[in-house]
Structure 1
């Protein structure tokens, strides 16, 4: 074998190896569609990735769901990524911007919902009427739900202690007011009128004798002194307190339905409307206050207490519901659809952009191996003669 035949064998082997490797790489992506000669489909068309696109999409979805984007990984990322701190900082920044705004609540509401106020500055009827109906329904529902409960159960222990203290105060106060009245000019005049009616009004012999020997002033003076001594006795105060406590207990043992029936439906409705009107008046005063002034008492508490709790609650709630969220999102189906709709040309561009150097080395290696095979083939031909 001469030198030219040797070089030809090396060149042909090298060309075959390189072209074969290059063709194999191209057949990963090309052709995009099957080729047909009549009804016969050319083998290996379309390319590997276009031909197995559906299977690749399904496997990619399974890979992402089972190994990449797992619930355990997401939970670990939520707890270790500092998301809670970043979320707290963001919420605190937004809350501070809102709480330090010098706009009043009315301006904020008007910019968001212009029809919330009427021309005179009060709440619009379209807003006020539904709120009033809800308020009345709320009052009726509370009365209905609590109708069978005794009034005693609605009063906390601290409230009952204040009622007992009020009964003690009222007992002494009533007796003191009665003493003050009896010693006042009006009380003296009333006592004298009572004495005249008892002894002089009838005109009998006993009345005449009393009127002859004792004047009204003397009788009233002696009677008031005796009455005053009685009113100052602790036993009377204690007895009055016992009577008031007994009446209070009878009242507390009544259920809400009985008390509401005793008060009357019309009176309860009047009170309900009066409370609503007071709340409405108070709300109109609040909406005219700047946000900075309105939120001043709670700004520090919001930043130091509420914001961290909200951020922690949000992260914990998200971590607890990761599995449910993944079930609702259907990660596998999403990835499958995305991969299935992704352009093959773009996939080829991405793969070649990442592995282009390696693919060129594979092609070069094909040339080298083909050349080596050509050398070996030539040597074998020479050796075998």
Structure 2
């Protein structure tokens, strides 16, 4: 009889210990809302975490802002970790895949923003019209901003020197073209016309007398060697070069406004339209090229030089501005709002998923301790009985 009493005490104590521990664990999260009997609220409802949810959110926000997500921590992660290598690898991977695309720009544009192309495959008027207006406005502003400047001021010193040095080559080219023209059939015909005009119409008695003995071909045969010698002579070349250089200097000394007025507003507008049309056609041709071909010239420099410098610049910028960013960023308030809006059920699942094994051990420990207390009570009952 005494043995059965001891076993009963052990069983009752074990059940009480395990059940109370299990209830205590559950009361951390449940019930989610307060229970009422009439106007009287049942004690310990809601559970500990739901009832202290606002305080927990504020404490977690303060913890994250003051100890976890700090400017010093970010700087330390940047300087001590492999963030730069990771960022470089990620940028190279993304850029490499993008530049290896065999799709054309037209395909990408049609997939991303189809409204910018019309049914003929050209830029839609909704895009072209504002771009054209901005282009004309840009040209007008550019001319207005530089109208009081000399053309010489718009060129670099090396550019002016190259332009002036080109006068010699231009004069030589011009004389060569004149010689080639004179030896061509068209040039011969021009000389014949000039000779006939000279001998027949304006030569007087002497011209008529010469024309009786010399034909056009003979006169041209006598005239061409002298013209060749004259065109190949250094004197004519030097004078022509000097003349061209003087004209270049005069042109470079002119102001932009004078040149524009001399050309005429209509001609400038026409050239502006022509240049815009050329740029438009060039852009449409580029649309039909695959990305892999378009990016081939810049692929290696971009991957091996530009991206590492970009990654270093980004991290340096973040490190320099970390204090200012974190001082203006309400980390504590953000974390507080996030925790306040987080469902209690998800918090319970998360905690149980992390500490479920330990909670089960606590429940088992309650059974064991309850059984041990029941055993002690049974033994004391027998000893005092």
Instruction: Give the TM-score normalised by structure 1.
Output: 0.68
Match of 1:91 among 94, 100, 104: 94
The CA deviation at 1:55 is: 0.6
Decide whether the 8 Å contact of 1:149 with 1:255 is kept in 2: yes
Q: Which blocks of at least 5 consecutive residues in structure 2 are unaligned?
A: none
Residue 86 to residue 174, structure 1, CA distance change in 2 (3 Å): closer
- Equivalent residues of 1:18, 1:370 under 8 A apart: no
Contact 1:29/1:344 (CA < 8 Å) preserved in 2? yes
CA distance in 1, matches of 2:180, 2:347: 102
CA contact (8 A) 2:75 2:319 kept: yes
* Structure 2 CA distance for partners of 1:71 and 1:171, relative to 1, 3 Å: same
Change (3 A) 1:359 1:320: farther
Match of 2:61 in 1: 61
2:164–2:248 CA contact under 8 A, matched in 1? no
Gaps of 5+ in 1: none
Give TM-score scaled by structure 2 length. 0.68
Structure 1 match to 2:161: 161
Indicate the residue corresponding to 2:135 in structure 1.
Answer: 135
Q: What do the CA deviations read for 1:44-71 (whole angstroms, capped 9, x no partner)? A: 5444323221111110111122222333
Offset at residue 145 of structure 1 (A): 2.2
The answer for the alignment partner of 1:271 in structure 2 is 271
Note the aligned Cα RMSD (angstroms): 5.1
- 2:281 paired residue number: 281
Task: Say whether the 8 Å CA contact 1:88–1:307 is kept in structure 2.
Answer: yes
Q: Secondary structure at the match of 2:254?
A: coil
Give the 3-state SS of the residue equivalent to 1:148 in structure 2: coil
> Where does residue 51 of structure 2 map in the other structure?
51
Q: Which shifted more, 164-173 or 254-263?
A: 164-173
Equivalent in the alignment of 1:257: 257
The answer as to whether partners of 1:27 and 1:48 remain within 8 angstroms in 2 is: yes
Relative to 1, partners in 2 of residues 1:293 and 1:182: Cα closer, same or farther, differing over 3 Å?
closer
Structure 2 CA distance, aligned partners of 1:345 and 1:53? 13
- How much does 1:269 deviate? 0.8
Paired residue for 2:82? 80
Alignment of 1:1-385 (within 5 A): 25-34=25-34, 41=41, 44-77=44-77, 79-81=81-83, 82-98=85-101, 101=102, 103-171=103-171, 232=233, 234=235, 238=238, 241-313=241-313, 330-353=330-353, 354=355, 355-360=358-363, 363=366, 367=370
Pair 1:362–1:70, CA change in 2 (3 A): farther
* Preserved CA contact (<8 Å) 1:17 1:369: no
Q: Evaluate the alpha carbon distance shift between residue 73 and residue 43 of structure 1 in structure 2; reply closer, same or farther with a 3 A threshold.
A: same
The structural deviation recorded for 1:265 is: 0.5
The answer as to whether partners of 1:147 and 1:257 remain within 8 angstroms in 2 is yes
Aligned mates of 2:344, 2:231 — CA distance in 1:
109
Distance 1:272 1:337, change over 3 A: same
Deviation at 1:322, TM superposition (A): 5.4
